[in-house]
Each structure stands twice: as structure tokens, then as C-alpha cells.
Amino acid sequence: MSGEVVATFSVTSTPSGGFRFGEHFVPRHVVGTDEFGRTYHATGVTRDATVNTPAGGGNFTMVNRFHIVGTHGAPTFFIKETVHLTVTPSGAVAASFDRFSADCV
């Protein structure tokens, strides 16, 4: 597969004096061909956000939805993941999860 991945990055100060960092990735014109000549297209988005508080705590959330879409009877692959982590100012983990699935249809 070849093509481009468009990336956008941002940093924003919060009213409380912390910061929010964001990343956003989107495949653009990403195409490939298998050994049978079938074409695949990459679609989806990966986004994450990190928030740091002045007191030292914060959170991180990442959402990944990446698809390799097959054409002319080729299979389509789906990757889905959501991750979240919240840390208190004392460094304790208050919430944490990672939900992942991968399917081929």
C-alpha cells in the first residue's frame, strides 16, 4: 500500500492553566493491490487527546478506526481500538481501559 497520511497536531491551554494536546491522522489516497490484482483502499481516522492539569493529573484518550477496504470480492479488514487513561494528581490511575477488535469480512 502507498499513499499519504495527513497529520494534524494541536496544543491548547485550558482555563485552569493546563494543556490539551491533540493528534489527528487520516489516510489519503492510500491504495494497494494484492497478488490477484484486487485493489484495496485505506480509510479511517486515528485521534488522540491528552489533557494535563496544573495539579499534575490528566487523561489520555485514543480512538483508532482503520479500514482496509477490498474491492472486486476482496476481503475488508477493520481495526477498531479505544484507549483511555485517567491519572489523579497524586499519580494514581483512576480509570483505564483498552478495547480492541480486528475483523475481516
In order along its 105 residues, the chain shows pLDDT tens digits of: 999 999 999 999 999 999 999 999 999 999 999 999 999 999 999 999 999 999 999 999 999 999 999 999 999 999 999 999 999 999 999 999 999 999 999
Tell me the pTM: 0.85
DSSP 3-state of 83: strand
Instruction: Centre a 10 Å sphere on the Cβ of residue 61 and count the other Cβ atoms it contains.
Output: 14
Instruction: Give tens-digit pLDDT for 81-103.
Output: 999 999 999 999 999 999 999 99
Q: What is the pLDDT of residue 77?
A: 96
Element (H, E) at 30: strand 19-33
Inter-residue contact 100 to 67 (CB < 8 Å): no
DSSP structural state of residue 31: E
Q: Exposure pattern of 17-30 as b/e (b: 16+ CB <10 Å)?
A: ebeeeeeebbbeeb
Delimit the domains of the chain by residue range.
Answer: 2-104
